[in-house]
Structure 1
Amino acid sequence: MIITRTPFRMSFFGGGTDYPGWYAEHGGAVLATSINKYCYITCRYLPPFFEHRHRIVHSLIENVQSINEIKHPAVRGILGWTGCERGLEIHHDGDLPARSGLGSSSSFTVGLLHALAALEGRYASKEYLASTAIHIEQNVLGENVGSQDQVSAAYGGFNLIEFHRNGGFSTSPVVLRQERLDEFQSHLMLCFTGFSRIASEVAKSQIENLHQRQAQLHRMREMVDEAIAILQSETIAIDEIGKLLHESWLCKRALSDKVSTSEIDHLYQEAIKAGAIGGKIMGAGGGGFLMLFAKPENHDAVRKRLSHLIHVPFKFDEGGSRIVMYQPNGLN
């Protein structure tokens, strides 16, 4: 049995520039971190005593004879792409709901690729996990997704991720004084709007508008460097990050009319009235988690104003996808 633990991610700046249709021409970059909320994948070869060949347990329980019968698109796509021949039992558990804007789909893809490699006795590098997950989601499954979630899930940590015109990517850890990093984290809040959405559908509308929104996307790329400069400064107040997040949110809303909704706009305005300086809806938009930036002394007021939402405490995570149990022959 193999169990992998793969983190979800929180993206701050540069989202939208990680779509291949954009960075193949202009390049792109995001500032993002993994957080201490995880996707767990349990995987083992299924003993030959059952009527079914594969058992997939997620929001549904699927007992099937062939890969083509599997309803879960990522499982079906990954097993088909890897050419898996033996029967498998796969269980998925997550700390946070799916379709919530924290990269859960890519964490699942990276985690399952990691588990399958381990089950076969193969070492899977971070680069392999990220690049293969990007290929699976964008080319095998044909989803309208960017390339940052897969990298954050595989590598983990607080990183500048750059996307190159040749299709490659590179990651650079953001080097900060610990006091500054702690100050940054202490200003962040995360709450669940209760609205779920299909990220690929929201992203499709953004992709269709890429070349009509060049000014916004170039500005969003510039904000990545500005944010790093603020965080690394010893003289600039951390509040400037909140103001930059607010500007980024306005740019992101301009990418598509599906990024936000009247309900999300209302929640955001209520948070601002209660003392938040900035924030953004996570992921492609349309629902999921709302990240807010506010002075710690204003957090109680923001929570009270948004008391009907679920508030989720979190911390930055330093590690990417990990194997937390490795017993490849333990239950055969």
Structure 2
Amino acid sequence: MVITKTPFRMSFFGGGTDIKEFYSEYGGSVLSSTFDKYCYVTSRFLPEFFDYSSEFVYSRIERVTDIDKIEHPLIRNCMKFMNLQNIRLAYDADLPARTGLGTSSSFAVGMLNAFHALKGEMCNKKELADEAIYVERVLCNESGGIQDQIAASYGGFNRIDMSEDGYQVKPIILPKQRKKELNDSLMLFFTGFTHMSSTVQNGVKENFSDKIRRLQTMKSMVDDAQNILIKGSHLSDFGKMLHETWKLKKSLSSIISNSDIDDMYQSAIKAGAEGGKLLGSGGGGFLLFYVDKDKQKYVRDALKNLLYIPFNFENDGTRIIYYDE
């Protein structure tokens, strides 16, 4: 039996520039961090005592005798990719899926990590990220970028640069107290809406050539945000930049936000938030705000109908927490 633990991620700047159509020509950059909310994948070989050969437990239960009959596309393609049979797999998570935290990619990375361990193999972080990108973007043919798989595999607070030649993961090195100050100034709220990332991504790709300039601006903001963090500028400038990138992001597609989300966002700004954004591709999920400590009570009161999620940054990425041959 193998149990893997894989973090979710929050992307601050550069989201959208990790789409192949953009970074292969212009280069992409993303500033993101994983945090201490995880998905857990438990897997083992299933004894041949049942009238089914494999069982998968997630939001539903699937029992099949042929992997081609697996309805969950990510599980089906990971099973085929790893050439596995007779598996029992269970998925559990701290936060819901389809909420802009890269949950699908965390599941892919954690599942591949578990499957390799079942076969007696140990993969490095790059191999796991590359395989998850291939399964999701090629085998599953899902629209989207590549930052989520990389973040889930590597973990930590990173700048990820992408080009047609590949990608580089560059840790953002900050004094412990400054990193804690940033962490303590960020507030995470669940909007109550979920979404299909691929649907939003397809909307972004419509009239893609008209959006290149805005994506280039979003990419340049990664440099500006990194400079704020490492050069000692006041961290409220980081929050103000979140507001600017949110405005740019909304301009990419009409389905990234809606009137309800806009109202939530404006309520937080009026209560004292310096800035914020909807995490992930948009359409629902989690709102992240930068709020000075003395104003956080007011923001919580303004968003009292939303679920507030305290969190801490994490550095480990996917890992095996239980292994028994």
| TM-score, L = length of structure 1 | 0.97
Give how far 1:83 is off: 1.9
Q: SS at the partner of 1:116?
A: helix
Q: Is the 8 A contact 1:280 1:292 kept in 2?
A: yes
Look up the equivalent residue of 2:151 and give its one-letter code.
S
Q: Within 1, Cα distance between the matches of 2:272 and 2:117?
A: 47
Equivalent residue number for residue 98 of structure 1: 97
Q: Is the 8 A contact 1:32 1:160 kept in 2?
A: yes
Q: Within 2, Cα distance between the matches of 1:268 and 1:253?
A: 12
Superposed CA offset, 1:150-185 (max 9, x none): 00000000000011122x111010011112111111
Q: SS at the partner of 1:260?
A: coil
Q: Within 1, Cα distance between the matches of 2:73 and 2:120?
A: 25
Q: Is the 8 A contact 1:209 1:255 kept in 2?
A: no
Equivalent residue number for residue 69 of structure 1: 69
**Structure 1 segments (4+ residues) deviating >6 Å:** none
Equivalent residue number for residue 228 of structure 1: 226
Look up the equivalent residue of 1:3 and give its one-letter code.
I
Alignment partner of 1:200 is 2:188: no
Q: Within 2, Cα distance between the matches of 1:35 and 1:310?
A: 17
Look up the equivalent residue of 1:200 and give its one-letter code.
S
Alignment partner of 1:266 is 2:267: no
Q: Within 2, Cα distance between the matches of 1:212 and 1:79?
A: 39
Superposed CA offset, 1:264-310 (max 9, x none): 11100000011001000010000000111110111111111100100
Give how far 1:82 is off: 2.0
Q: SS at the partner of 2:274?
A: strand
Q: SS at the partner of 2:34?
A: strand
Q: SS at the partner of 1:258?
A: coil
Q: Is the 8 A contact 1:7 1:320 kept in 2?
A: yes
Give how far 1:68 is off: 1.3
Give how far 1:216 is off: 0.9
Give how far 1:81 is off: 2.0
Alignment partner of 1:120 is 2:103: no
Equivalent residue number for residue 171 of structure 1: 169
* % same residue: 45
Q: Is the 8 A contact 1:274 1:301 kept in 2?
A: yes
Superposed CA offset, 1:12-35 (max 9, x none): 000000001100100101000000
Structure 2 spans left out of the alignment, 5+ residues:
none
Equivalent residue number for residue 304 of structure 1: 301
Aligned pairs for 1:178-197 within 5 A = 178-197=176-195
Q: SS at the partner of 1:317?
A: coil
Look up the equivalent residue of 1:175 and give its one-letter code.
I
Q: Within 1, Cα distance between the matches of 2:293 and 2:66?
A: 53
Look up the equivalent residue of 1:115 and give its one-letter code.
A
Give how far 1:97 is off: 0.3
Give how far 1:209 is off: 3.6
Equivalent residue number for residue 245 of structure 2: 248
Q: SS at the partner of 1:184?
A: helix
Q: Rate the CA distance shift 1:230–1:97 in 2: closer, same or farther, 3 A.
A: same
Superposed CA offset, 1:65-114 (max 9, x none): 11111111110111122222x30000000000000100100000000000
Q: SS at the partner of 2:222?
A: helix
Q: Within 2, Cα distance between the matches of 1:209 and 1:279?
A: 26
Q: Within 1, Cα distance between the matches of 2:276 and 2:207?
A: 23
Equivalent residue number for residue 30 of structure 1: 30
Alignment partner of 1:109 is 2:108: yes
Q: Is the 8 A contact 1:19 1:207 kept in 2?
A: no
Give how far 1:327 is off: 0.5
Look up the equivalent residue of 1:300 and give its one-letter code.
K
Give how far 1:210 is off: 2.9
Give how far 1:211 is off: 1.7
Equivalent residue number for residue 13 of structure 2: 13
Structure 1 spans left out of the alignment, 5+ residues:
none
Q: Within 2, Cα distance between the matches of 1:135 and 1:207?
A: 20
Q: Within 2, Cα distance between the matches of 1:321 and 1:209?
A: 36
Look up the equivalent residue of 1:272 and give its one-letter code.
I
Q: Within 1, Cα distance between the matches of 2:176 and 2:66?
A: 51
| TM-score, L = length of structure 2 | 0.99
